[in-house]
Amino acid sequence: MKLYAQQGYGTGDEPNKILKGLEAGYIHGAIISPKDYRLCRVTNLLGVMSDQFPTADRLFDPQFYASLITQDPNARMGRLQDGEYPYFAQRRRGQLESEAQIVQDLRRCLEFQKDLNVSAVIAPNILIRRSLNSIEAVIAKNFVRNAREIWNEIGDGRRLLVTIAVDAEALQDKDELMEFLADLTILEERPDGFYLLVASPTSLIRPELIDFRTLAGWMLMNHALSLNGFEVVNGFSDVLTPFLAAAGGSAGATGWWSNLKVFSMDRFNPASGGGRRPVWRYLSKALLNSIRYDELQSVRDYQPAVLNDLPTDAFYNPENGSEPTSQVNEVLQTWNAVSSFAGVDDQPDLEDCRQWIAGAKELYGNINTSVVRLMERSNDAHLDSLEDGLQLFAQLAELDA
């Protein structure tokens, strides 16, 4: 199981979060966001990664799925509209119903990435909203069908991944999902794999809390595609990464802000108002959840099982109230925790997932019988959804329940 940094705003220079994660061995590569990074910084970071960490995967998310909302003058496109990324342009859905337009956009995007120091290229796509039986799904499949032929013509042998971006709700209809997967697995001109994104309504809602059918569908996509020989890189997967790996996924990714842990178009949509500074959190493997640093301080002495017993626990010193000293330390702790569920050459299985959930329920039960009360975001609401999603996935994939 590989884990990548989901890069975005706040990467930093000294220290650079991604380089620190690679140096520590907690991540195995990065997925770069052009929205948040000037091209000169992109090329510099890719170059440093290539020189210092040559085995790390270097990927570039073209973020073409945001092109359909650029007509809103208040949309937050960041660097994508600065002219540094010439493949990116405003699009209407009607334009993309033309296969000729799709071919043109694919070619421009892949030609741009050909000149980047990436280890594999990611072909663009749009977001499929609400239904996999829709004109948007037809457009998305046309991006997939045309990508290999174009890359064979202009490419240089590097691996080709194609973006599949799907709304969480669209994964909940099993019949539509099965038909969509069947279309992907019988492609004549096959990419090497897919960059899979599942869109939540907002980055403030963890994906495991949306609907257990979404998790089951996400896992089924990993299972079906991997069985058919495709590499599956899951973007914005955070603590769900080991569950997706158990279903056959090749890699997951997460970052340091909530909008780098959860994929949502609200990252591009007009701002809805000011926000508060995030509170430092600690990702507990035993809880399958992150809790506030002050909650960690309250429970760590009488429930030490909340601690991961990993090197980055040292960043949460009880003498300092368990408060980490920087965002760098917080994200290193997250990466350390997620990547430790399995080694880079190891895949967890469904029984591992069941044991994680059972252990988390037991630990939450112990905490809930005490005088300490965890806040809503830190409580055990996610566990039933994880359990139900895992069970439904096993049924859909016809695996032992």
pLDDT digits (tens, 9 = 90+) for 41-73: 999 999 999 999 999 999 999 999 999 998 777
Strand pairing of 2-6 and 127-128?
Answer: unpaired
Tokens representing 180? 């969509």
User: CA 21 to CA 36: how far, in whole Å?
Assistant: 19
Rounded alpha-carbon distances, angstroms, from residue 340 to 57, 315, 322, 334, 386: 18, 17, 21, 10, 19
**Concatenated DSSP letters for 111-129?**
HHHHTS--SEEEE---EE-
Q: Are 198 and 238 a contacting pair, CB within 8 Å? A: no
Q: State which residues of the chain have pLDDT below 70.
A: 207-209, 272-276, 401
From the list 22, 14, 90, the residue with the least C-alpha distance to 56 is 22
User: CA 191 to CA 181: how far, in whole Å?
Assistant: 14
pLDDT of the residue at 153: 97
* 312-345 burial: b if 16+ Cβ within 10 Å, else e: bbebbeeeeebbbeeebbbbbbbbbbbbbbbeee
Strand pairing of 159-167 and 193-199?
Answer: parallel
Helices and strands (DSSP H and E) totals, the chain: 12, 11
pLDDT of the residue at 280: 95
- Sequence spans of domains, the chain: 2-267, 281-396
Rounded alpha-carbon distances, angstroms, from residue 158 to 34, 116, 118, 321, 362: 20, 11, 9, 48, 46
Write down the CATH number for the domain with range 2-267: 3.20.20
Q: pTM of the prediction?
A: 0.96
- Residue 165's Cα: distance from chain center in Å? 11
Torsion angles phi and psi, residue 322, rounded to 5:
65, 20
Cross-strand partners of 233: 195, 251
Lookup result for tokens 């493997």: 285
User: CA 333 to CA 45: how far, in whole Å?
Assistant: 22
Element (H, E) at 195: strand 193-199
